[in-house]
Chain A
Amino acid sequence: MSSMTRLTARRFAKHRMALASGVLIILLALAAGAAPLVEALLGVDGNEVDLLARFGAAGPGHPLGTDELGRDVLVRLLFGGQVSLTVALITAFAAAVIGAAIGLVAGYYGGWVDGLLMRLTDGVIALPLLPLLIILAAIDLSKIPFLDGLDDSPASSLYRIVLIITLVGWTTVARLVRGAALSLRTREYVLAARSMGAGGLRIMAVHILPNVMSPIIVATSLSVGNIILFESVLSFLGLGIQPPIASWGNMLNNAQELIYEAPALAFYPGIAIFLTVIAFNFLGDGLQDALDPKAAGD
């Protein structure tokens, strides 16, 4: 197995952009993780409002200046990165798990189960995503019996966002896995497992899933970018992550009205989103070429 991994790693390394992106992502993650450190080094508090220092230009103590409430931009950017990255990764993972489960069941059992699940998947894909997310974000959760533990606090907004994006984000992985499962279920090793009495669950988990991991990994890494975009849109519209928790999206919300006075405030969070998303997209591309050379243009 290790020789196959080495081969894959070598193919990945040939993709310079993908490699660069991988490095960039690691750096971003480290920077975001180091936010408290930077905060201490600069001697500022990211949440501290200092109305006398509004719209400060870049300078000592504030490498990227201050925002409309006098808070340091760099520190907020880094904390925002923590939030956006964590939310995106958790959501991508959750969506992949749900998508894989649905895809496996649909592909392996076929027949009406597949028909039903695929209609469901197609239905979700056909929905206008953003309007749906907006409604889901605007719902009064206290009306749903088992979710009323979630209130309107900013911390809850994190859970909400993960939940609603996961609800609509599983479809790509589901389709992928279903296609793979459909073709794998006629493989002879699956037939062999059936002939020895293996049950559906065992076959899906032991025989099919490990053999579809590559496309799942690719699809998941490609989905992270999209998830970041959706989270930032929702936060930008005021429906996602609530202040004072910083996310790149809600930083842009504040910046929008100030576009005339302080355009730089709109620039930084947006560029951060842009770079992160493009990095994940390149990474996904590189992974795809590395893991499935037939699909690429080799």
Chain B
Amino acid sequence: MTRYIAGRLVETLVMLAVMSFLIYGLIGLMPGDPIDIMVQADPNLTPTDAARLKALYGLDKPLIERYLNWLGAALQGDFGYSRVHNAPVLEVLLPRLGNTLLLMGLSFILALTVALPIGVYSALKPYGARDYAVNFAALAGISVPVFWLALMLIYLFAVEWKLLPAGGMQTIGVDSLLDRARYLVLPVVTLSAASAGGFTRFMRASTMETMRHDYIRTARAKGLSETRVVLKHALRNALIPVVTIVALSFGGLFSGALITETMFSYLGMGKLIYDSILGNDYNLALIGLLFATLITLIANLAADICYAWLDPRISYQGSAGQ
């Protein structure tokens, strides 16, 4: 098991390095002279410094060379300055990262809480009216464009019925948990729609698959009530494949979060990245993207480790080797 984790950690680091190279290269292709913009972002820059930095990172240098120079600085903690916010990149990024993780986390939990029970419930009477309704709703969740759902929800709840705010993080001047919660309702619901749909379908499929196995028939033949059969025997096995898929999808939530944050003016990292790409704030964009990639990679790593822990083949290999 340790060997497996070690291997996956190495792969994650390599992937991160490759991604950083790719993204660095892409930033260099932005309109204008992105390197110049990135270098000029530091307010404390002297002309000598500027010249030196241009020599290191300038677009006239081959990609590998300027990437390695950048990497060297980055590994020492120097991520550059945000041009728009006039502050070091990490200072701008980290609080917003927290907001995004909050949004993603709440949506994830909401989606799971709704989807898993409904998926199981629906699988118990397959192909009935209830099942068709659930399947339709789940597919609807996956098919709806997030930005349109946001627009519709804003229209209904903020414009028409005036129940919830149309955007932002909190009412100005008010610092209460309840207030912040009000502002979170619509974004969280919007973001969880697609995930909830996906999870419902997986849970349903997995439960139906499990219920077909012979040991379920045995349990029924023993005279156990249907509820007991499901809860005690089927559920655990149905959950295993779902857990993997669910964990792997956490990273994908980021794309949805980006749109949701933009639509609701929620000050998260997704919106930050979007604004920075379009606002030529390339230092911020670069590091922001790397963070986003890192989140996804970590989520996938956690999912793999979870799965390895559950899959007896891999755990056995590991323990036999210790």
Contact = CB atoms under 8 A, between A and B. Distances in A.
Interface of A: 17, 119, 122-123, 126-132, 134-136, 138-140, 143-144, 225, 229, 232-233, 236-237, 252, 255-256, 259-260, 263, 266-267, 269-270, 273-274, 277-278, 281-282, 285, 297
Contact of A259 (B159, B208, B293): B159
Interface in B130-146: 132, 136, 139-140, 142-146
A266 B209 contact: no
B251 A140 contact: no
Given A126-B293, A138-B278, A236 B147 contact: yes
B140 A135 contact: no
A282 B278 CA distance: 36
Interface in B153-187: 154-155, 159
B147 A297 contact: no
15 contacts: A127-B296, A128-B293, A128-B296, A132-B289, A135-B23, A138-B30, A138-B31, A139-B30, A140-B31, A263-B155, A267-B152, A269-B148, A277-B143, A278-B140, A297-B209
Interface in B293-307: 293, 295-297, 300
Interface in B13-41: 15, 18-19, 23, 26-32
Given A126-B15, A270-B151, A232 B145 contact: yes
A146 B254 CA distance: 32
Contact of A135 (B27, B139, B259): B27
B224 to A, nearest CB: 22
Interface in B187-240: 205, 208-209, 212
A119 B18 CA distance: 11
B145 A229 contact: yes
Contacts of B208: 297
A256 B147 CA distance: 10
| 5 pairs of A and B residues whose beta carbons are closest in the complex | A270-B148, A130-B255, A278-B143, A140-B31, A277-B143
A123 B15 contact: yes
Given A126-B300, A233-B259, A236-B147, A131 B154 contact: no
Given A252-B147, A259-B159, 14 more contacts: A126-B296, A128-B251, A129-B252, A131-B270, A134-B273, A135-B23, A138-B31, A138-B277, A236-B147, A259-B155, A266-B148, A274-B144, A277-B144, A278-B140
Given A139-B26, A140-B32, A237-B274, A127 B146 contact: no
Contacts of B154: 259
Contacts of B98: none
B255 A270 contact: no
B193 to A, nearest CB: 12
A256 B259 CA distance: 13
B257 to A, nearest CB: 9
Nearest to B158: A259
B58 to A, nearest CB: 14
Contact of B292 (A128, A266, A273): A128
B97 interface: no
Given A127-B296, A135-B23, A233-B259, A270 B289 contact: no
Contacts of A278: 139-140, 143
Contacts of B212: 297
A17 B138 CA distance: 14
Contacts of B259: 130, 233
Contacts of B277: 131, 134-135, 138
A221 to B, nearest CB: 13
Interface of B: 11, 15, 18-19, 23, 26-32, 126-127, 132, 136, 139-140, 142-148, 151-152, 154-155, 159, 205, 208-209, 212, 251-252, 254-256, 258-259, 262, 270, 273-274, 277-278, 285, 288-289, 292-293, 295-297, 300
Given A129-B252, A138-B278, A119 B11 contact: yes
Nearest to B15: A123
B141 to A, nearest CB: 10
A123 B31 contact: no
Given A129-B252, A129-B255, A266-B152, A134 B274 contact: yes
Nearest to A278: B143
A134 B295 CA distance: 18
A256 B150 CA distance: 10
A139 B32 CA distance: 10
Contacts of A225: 142-143
Contacts of A282: 139
B139 A281 contact: yes
A214 B139 CA distance: 22
Nearest to A140: B31
Given A131-B273, A278-B139, A233 B27 contact: no
Give the one of A130, A274, A285 with max B CB within 10 A.
Answer: A130
A232 B259 CA distance: 12
A266 B293 contact: no
B205 to A, nearest CB: 7
Given A126-B293, A127-B19, A229-B145, A136 B26 contact: yes
B60 to A, nearest CB: 13
Nearest to B151: A266
B145 A273 contact: yes
B126 A131 contact: no
B242 to A, nearest CB: 15
A25 B297 CA distance: 37
Contacts of A144: 29
